[in-house]
Chains A and B, each alone.
Chain A
Amino acid sequence: MEDSIPKMRVENLDVSYFDKQALFSINLDITKNNITALIGPSGCGKSTFLRCLNRMNDVIDGCVVKGKVELDGSTIYDQRIDPVTLRAKVGIVFQKPNPFPKSIYDNVAYGPRIHGLANTNSELDDIVEKSLIRAGLWDEVKDRISDSGTSLSGGQQQRLCIARAIAVNPQVLLMDEPCSALDPIATARIEELMDELRNRYTIVIVTHSMQQAARVAQYTAFFHMGYLVEKGATEKMFTTPDDKRTQDYITGRFG
């Protein structure tokens, strides 16, 4: 991560749920306009780490975060930082699709509405349409835009959640296994989208698919049992990993 400026910087991050520590002194830079993939076996703390980046852990009972997380050089775990403003800048797509039980339109329009991103209804329509197009969902839902978001299939719901997140126009987009419920075509569409979004946004993605990490990510970080084992350029990670555990994981020997 030598050449780019870090958009986010994580230093000595410890996270624990009640008495159980989930992350142990993580240090990681998230570089600007790049995609960083987080990989690792289930339960190793990827989602926990991701949620630290926009303070979604604040609302989880018993979750204690220690250490430093910076966005554009200013620490986000600070009294003066309003987590609400932060989350508008650092958007998130969750592991399980969670559309609001409202219309598809209202799902996407919700973020722009509360942040006042559109002055007129037609502007709002525009944002909604663009977001749905970019998430690859528009063609499927344009005739049923006022149907409930929960009436969509799992994969469609996931894309709806992506559309909803990018409608707010965040600087950083956190995606927790966004393609786990998608077929290869939709997955390809999302990957395309990520690549396109990379020009403007910084993306962090959690994935269980090594191929996906290799395809889309410029940087990869490998988590194991709460520790960040290895990080670096994706190419190097997948060809000549330093750590034996990384090697085992990406070649499918465990996890």
Chain B
Amino acid sequence: MNNLDNNNQLTDESPSEYSSDRLLKRQKKEKRFQLLGKLSVLASVSFLFILFISIIEKGSSAIRQSEVLLSIDLSTENFRQEVLMDPKKIRGSELNKLTRNSLIKLFPNVQSRSDRRMLYSLISSGARHELRDRIIQNRDLIGGIISVWLPLSDDADMYLKGNIKKDVPSNLRRFKDNQISWLDQLMSDGLVRKSFNFRFFTNGDSREPEIAGTLGALIGSFFTLLVTFLISFPIGVMAAIYLEEFSPKNRFTEIIEVNINNLAAVPSIVFGLLGLGVFLSFFEFPRSAPLVGGMVLSLMTLPTIIIVSRASLKAVPGSIREAALGLGASKMQMVLHHVLPLGMPGILTGGILGMARALGETAPLLMIGMVAFIVDIPTKIDDPSTALPVQIFLWADSPERAFVERTSAAIMLLLFFLLTMNFVAVLLRQKFEKRW
């Protein structure tokens, strides 16, 4: 390469052989070509930039959630005897009553039933769960009065975030004028705050956007990827090693090769259907489980890993193989001591990129029922669960305004994990390269 460049320069500078006219023309052409390249890079970068900006713009407000400070009367006379013995027996309706009473104390003028119902709906219906958790965790609270920050409803939250326009007539709005005035009063009393939306990271899914979180989906994705990796990586690498280093080159292996390439091009939903037909209907594995999701996704990533691994093994120079064999290494020693370690950075990079693709995959998971509404956070690989991209799909489909920002926030989370994985791939590659 260097030699060539030098030669070019030499001829550039010898006008006896090349007229300066021709030289100028060529340099111009070169410049134009480079400009085209620069423009292409700019275009792709700006697309990416626009994507990020729009997602961040929509999703960043989900970082904060509006809460209201209520003082709740937990005097013993508010509880049934049974509950006093065992707080776990407390009912949702009883908890609702506690918060409602505290609201009524703040707004004694609200009398009519319909108005009261509207007043109550300022508070998230998920507030009772948080109250319940508190009482169960610390039963000494019973008998006193406690002040707690409880989540406001999604409509109130949206109003505070400026997503509900006041110029729309009150009856066409989800958040009515009187609700606005109550909320304003609460604000002027300093009882409203926007705090970090930890619920988004610690809760499972919910019908109520203000308490819906991504933890369930995250853990579901984690289990799914774990299964995918454990199945597809060893099998893929082993298959690649065999095909690349050991298998005889004949008709049969050629057919296998072609079919692996074909398999890599199969749309992922087809693997989902296969999973539905084989894993669920025939083997009767549990529905909606990361176990099956991982199996389906490993079918999808397996051909990719085989192809990438083969390419990395092929890139190891033949002279290294000769050197090892020439010293009396067996073929297995040659592969394990030299070829595989040298190919590993590429294999790992391919593997992680394959995992990243599996992380973002939605369609096959829909087919095997990982699209269900699941509140509980999975703890085993055969618990019903969903995955992060499916969660995004579900939320994007929800009518509530507040799910819009949560959808974008979940996309940010997904992108964060994808970028992290790519970053890890780069790091791993560098680490391995240093060793050699």
Contacts and interface: CB of A to CB of B under 8 A. Distances in A.
Contacts of A165: 326-327
Interface string A32-54: 00000000000000000000001
A161 B322 CA distance: 12
A101 B342 contact: yes
A233 interface: no
A102 B328 contact: no
Contact of A85 (B319, B322, B328, B333): B328
- 8 smallest CB-CB distances across A and B, nearest first, come from A88-B328, A98-B319, A87-B328, A111-B327, A101-B436, A92-B326, A98-B323, A84-B330
19 contacts: A56-B325, A56-B326, A59-B321, A59-B322, A84-B330, A87-B325, A87-B328, A88-B328, A91-B326, A91-B328, A94-B323, A94-B326, A98-B320, A98-B323, A101-B342, A110-B329, A114-B337, A164-B327, A168-B327
Contacts of A54: 326
Contacts of A56: 322, 325-326
B327 A91 contact: yes
Given A84-B328, A87-B325, A102 B436 contact: yes
Interface in A78-131: 84-85, 87-88, 91-92, 94, 96, 98-102, 110-111, 114-115
Nearest to B328: A88
A93 to B, nearest CB: 8
A148 B327 contact: no
Given A100-B338, A101-B342, A114-B333, A87 B319 contact: no
B310 to A, nearest CB: 16
Nearest to A88: B328
A62 to B, nearest CB: 9
A143 interface: no
Interface of B: 249, 317, 319-330, 333, 337-338, 342, 436
A61 interface: yes
B251 to A, nearest CB: 15
A99 B329 CA distance: 15
A160 B201 CA distance: 57
Given A94-B322, A114-B337, 5 more contacts: A85-B328, A88-B328, A94-B319, A101-B436, A161-B323
A61 B325 contact: no
A148 B436 CA distance: 7
Nearest to A174: B326
A110 B325 contact: no
A114 B436 contact: no
A114 B319 contact: no
A30 to B, nearest CB: 18
Contacts of A94: 319, 322-323, 326
Contacts of B337: 110, 114
A44 B333 CA distance: 33
Nearest to A150: B436
A223 B285 CA distance: 69
Contacts of A168: 327-328
Contacts of A96: 319
Contacts of A92: 326
A255 B322 CA distance: 28
Contact of B327 (A59, A61, A87, A102): A87
Contacts of B321: 59
A96 B432 CA distance: 26
B328 A111 contact: yes
A98 to B, nearest CB: 4
Contacts of A87: 325-328
Interface string A225-244: 00000000000000000000
Nearest to B332: A84
A106 to B, nearest CB: 10
Contacts of B317: 98
B342 to A, nearest CB: 7
Nearest to B319: A98
